[in-house]
Amino acid sequence: MVNFQDTIQEHGEAIGLSLRHTSTAMDLAAELQSLASRSKHAGDMELNHLVAALKSEITNANRANIAIQKTLSKIEKAALEAVVVKSKLDRYALWQTPAGASVYRLKADRAEGDPMHYVCPVCYQNAKISILQGSQMKKDCMVCDKSSCTYRFEYSRSVDRA
Ligand SMILES: [Zn+2]
């Protein structure tokens, strides 16, 4: 599997290198322009046009690199956020309540000091964690539409030892 962060870092380094190359190319084009102006070809319209076209192309390449660099930064930010979200979601496992409803339950080994709680499976599928609220018998998601997001936990008050 591709490591997102390594790939982004490699691309970032490649773009950094490319930006240095375009910077050097622009310096060389400026030197070429200076040399041309001092040579016996000074004032040659065709030569001046070519040097100007070269500088324009280098500038375009530089702009393209900067645009790619900005896009890459956005992708890197999104990838880091996805890692954080996945880490939060990984704290829960799908679990069936004694009454037969499917909800996500906090994994005991990932509690990190939190009391046992359950999260909405609909929100979970959308990468959001909404703690179910309610009684020992049934709990609701306070984020989803209440009519469709009520989860029955127990039919009697006797069990909560899962
Ligand atoms: Zn929900």
Query: Which sequence spans correspond to the domains of the chain?
Result: 4-89, 92-152
| Three-class secondary structure of residue 158 per DSSP | coil
Compute, in angstroms, the gap from residue 150 CA to the centroid of ligand 1: 9
Q: What is the pLDDT of residue 74?
A: 94
Query: Which amino acid, residue 16?
Result: G
Burial of 45 (0-12, 13-18, 19+ CB in 10 A): exposed
Q: In the chain, pLDDT over 70 holds for what percent of residues?
A: 93
| Three-class secondary structure of residue 90 per DSSP | coil
| pTM > 0.85 | no
Give the pairing type, strands 150-152 and 92-96: unpaired
Compute, in angstroms, the gap from residue 76 CA to the centroid of ligand 1: 28
List, for residues 40-90, the tens digit of each pLDDT value: 988 899 999 999 999 999 999 999 999 999 999 999 999 999 999 999 999
Residue partners of 22: CB distance under 8 A and separation at least 6: 58, 61, 62, 65
Q: What is the pLDDT of residue 162?
A: 44
Compute, in angstroms, the gap from residue 101 CA to the centroid of ligand 1: 14
